[in-house]
Structure 1
Amino acid sequence: MTAPLVAVAHGSRDPRSAATIHALMDVVRAMRPDLDVRVAFLDLSAPRVGDVLSAVHGDGHDSAVVVPLLLGRAFHARVDVPAAVADAERRYPRFRVHVADVLGPDPRLDEAAWRRLAEAGASANDPELGVLLAGAGSSHAPANRLVADVAARWQSRTSWAGAVATFAAAAEPDVPAAIEALRARGARRIAVASWFLAPGLLPDRIIELARKHATNPLLAAPMADDEGVADLILNRYAEAQASPDLSVAL
């Protein structure tokens, strides 16, 4: 019996977030109609990870693959996901959960965010455009550096005045500082690319600040139900099944 894929997202008080995650997983199901795909959340949305793993076990499966829908290895990946798996360990000693790697870094994420930015009207050949690549922000510096690295790669392949990372919380630069830095490089127009999978409170904060500090900024949608992201999720699922080092016996 093929192990179900349990996609684990952050969760949010904003109902658009959960709806977007479910839409993304519908794309995954369309790519793999033979696969049992389930959605779970770490916090603020239902169903929670423990409840979904209990349901998988209750349906007679002896294993599952948890795929964290996280863009980097920050707190949720290093603490919350392992804790949820460890909690299930105490309940089902013969059940086996394989924990996949987080989604980022991966070129498919870069490409998904780029596609959304292009859909918003940004051109790679606009020397007066300054681009913010907006992420959530983390106290874990490598997670922030991942976003900055993507912005640097974009800068190297365009004629933009500049491309910089900016963060909604917990990291610098914030949106006003990032816009000021781009204007110092000669940017006359501002675009905001989204390093988010789904809409929610943090993306809304980025948008509000961008509109406050720039005139008519181009605003890209989150990566959402991009087929490249769905393909990446399935790739992480396959890697976890093939790599015993990523497994946690429950």
Structure 2
Amino acid sequence: MAAPALVALAHGSRDPRSAATVKALVEEVRRMRPDLRIEHAFLDLAKPSFTTTVDKLVRAGFDEIVVVPLLLTEAYHAKVDVPEAVAEAMSRHAGLQIRATSVLGLESSFLDVLDIRMREALKESRVRELDALVLASAGSSDPLANQSVARLARLWGARHKLPVTAAFASAAPPATGEAVRAFRTQGRRHIAVASLFLAPGLLPDRAAELALEAGAVAVSKPLGAHPEVARTILARYAVGAVELVPV
């Protein structure tokens, strides 16, 4: 009996860099588990769509699929868009079982990836001194999602013994530029911004632009196709695959 297929489901973006990053991340997952059938798909704005990917897997003989949402917070897309997409797919294929796992979330292990990306940015900008950090994420109308980013920011700040503020690219204050300026009014001049985004796109670009305009000395790249993110995808898949086993 074949193991359930894994679909890494991203939101999607018109920016081709986003789709390329998701594809590279899935390739990293495949390298770790060459025994699994692993595909990627998008909810919107990019191809392949979730519908197309599910149909392809069904044609290949799979009747069990584990969907891992490539989302960092439990907000609207996780609570509404993903369940609706899963329900629609199951309604079109009799006997098909699809289990959507928890989102990637904000694992404490992602702090290691943030540190790597930040060191890369500091080296590129030739920065050797920091006195404050900003953790920039997409932002949500869901306050619980924003609070989860703020908690991760506090953990990150404690790790480096530096003040840290969470900032958001949309839906909630402060924006990255506001966060940087707030630190500068306190007399801090060496402020770096970490991009808590999975992949490049409009929001990360805007967050970086505002931060640099406000005087940030460096802005890191998004998490990207790092092995730690790939391992988290497989950890979510393992839980979902167990949940598909009949009791």
TM range (shorter): over 0.9
Q: How many residue pairs get matched?
A: 241
Q: What's the TM-score once normalised by structure 2's chain length? A: 0.92
* Uncovered stretches (5+) of structure 2, i.e. residues with no partner: none
Question: Are the structure 2 counterparts of residues 57 and 112 from structure 1 closer, same or farther at C-alpha, using a change threshold of 3 Å?
Answer: same
Percent identity, aligned pairs only, is 44
**Are positions 1:176 and 2:198 aligned together?**
no
Match of 1:242 in 2: 242
Q: Distance in 2 between matches of 1:87 and 1:243?
A: 20
The DSSP-based 3-state class of the residue aligned with 1:76 is helix
Per the TM alignment, residue 80 of structure 1 is displaced from its structure 2 partner at its CA by: 0.4
**Are positions 1:227 and 2:227 aligned together?**
yes
Match of 1:154 in 2: 156
Match of 2:7 in 1: 6
Contact 1:128 1:186 in 2 (8 A): no
Amino acid at match of 1:87: E
**Are positions 1:23 and 2:24 aligned together?**
yes
Q: CA RMSD in A?
A: 1.8
* Uncovered stretches (5+) of structure 1, i.e. residues with no partner: none
Encode CA deviations 1:191-212: one digit per residue, 9 max, x unaligned. 1101101000000001111121
Per the TM alignment, residue 159 of structure 1 is displaced from its structure 2 partner at its CA by: 3.2
Per the TM alignment, residue 244 of structure 1 is displaced from its structure 2 partner at its CA by: 5.1
Q: What's the TM-score once normalised by structure 1's chain length? A: 0.91
The DSSP-based 3-state class of the residue aligned with 1:61 is coil
Question: Are the structure 2 counterparts of residues 187 and 127 from structure 1 closer, same or farther at C-alpha, using a change threshold of 3 Å?
Answer: farther
Amino acid at match of 1:190: I
Per the TM alignment, residue 117 of structure 1 is displaced from its structure 2 partner at its CA by: 1.2
Match of 1:138 in 2: 140
Per the TM alignment, residue 105 of structure 1 is displaced from its structure 2 partner at its CA by: 2.9
Per the TM alignment, residue 180 of structure 1 is displaced from its structure 2 partner at its CA by: 2.3
Matching of residues 192-207 of structure 1 within 5 Å: 192-207=193-208
Match of 2:75 in 1: 74
Q: Distance in 2 between matches of 1:66 and 1:170?
A: 27
Q: Distance in 2 between matches of 1:108 and 1:41?
A: 25
Amino acid at match of 1:46: K
The DSSP-based 3-state class of the residue aligned with 2:109 is helix
The DSSP-based 3-state class of the residue aligned with 1:176 is helix
Contact 1:50 1:85 in 2 (8 A): no
Amino acid at match of 1:25: V
Q: Distance in 2 between matches of 1:185 and 1:158?
A: 19
Q: Distance in 1 between matches of 2:157 and 2:91?
A: 48
Q: Distance in 1 between matches of 2:226 and 2:85?
A: 27
